[in-house]
Structures are given as structure tokens and as C-alpha cells.
Amino acid sequence: MSDKNKQPTFYIHDYETFGQRPALDRPAQFAGVRTDLDFNIIEEPLVVYCAPADDYLPQPEAVMITGITPQHALANGVNEAEFARQIHQAFNVPGTCILGYNNIRFDDEVSRNIFYRNFL
């Protein structure tokens, strides 16, 4: 199927992070799912963990709230460049409208900062 024949979709996503500041704190997990315009899931959800950098200390409160420890993210995650690449690929499917809760204030800022840090 060519891109021009591709139907519009919604991509609903959420981040869990190791802090509250999108520009300074790092992502711990991303989860997203693509739906059609009637909100029927049309592909497998994407769930990916981001391994924390060696020079970054997560906020303890964030770990307690999300339940994602740095050890879990390190054992199950990919580096931030690969993490950002997978998200960028999911977002850039033609006809995609990206949705989420509190996106403008937080999640979009997390995306913007990880894409900037990783040259995407």
C-alpha cells in the first residue's frame, strides 16, 4: 500500500520518566498504540524502556510513583538513541495524529528534548 492510500490513524502514547522536568530528566518508559479513527487498535502496542545514562541520578519520588527502578530500565531497556529512534519511527507514519493526556505540557516536551539530544 502506498503512503498516499494510507488511512489516517491516531497514535496514543505516554511516557514514564525519572523526574518532572522534561528538559533535564530522562525517560524511563514509553508506551504507545496505533488506532483507526474509531479507536480500534490496528497494530501491536509499542512498549520500550530507556536505560538510564551512567551520569544521571533519577528522582527517588519518580521511581516510587512509576514503580520503574533504574535497575529494571537498565536490564530491560535500550540506550536513549535507540529509544528515541523507535518513538520517532512510530510518530512519523504518514497520516498519524498523536494523542495523549497532558501531552502539550509534558509528553511533547519529553519527545522534543529526546529527539533534540539524539539528532532526530
Whether the per-residue pLDDT at 4 is higher than 80: the answer is no
CA atoms within 13 A on the CB side of 84: 16
Helix 80-91 / helix 108-117 crossing angle, nearest 10 deg: 120
Query: Which pLDDT does position 1 carry in this prediction?
Result: 44
Query: Which pLDDT does position 6 carry in this prediction?
Result: 81
pTM comes to 0.91
Whether the per-residue pLDDT at 66 is higher than 70: the answer is yes
Which structural domain, as residue segments, surrounds residue 22? 3-117
User: What is the rounded CA–CA span in Å between residue 62 and residue 18?
Assistant: 5
Q: What is the CATH number of the domain that holds 112?
A: 3.30.420.10
How many independent structural domains does the chain possess? 1
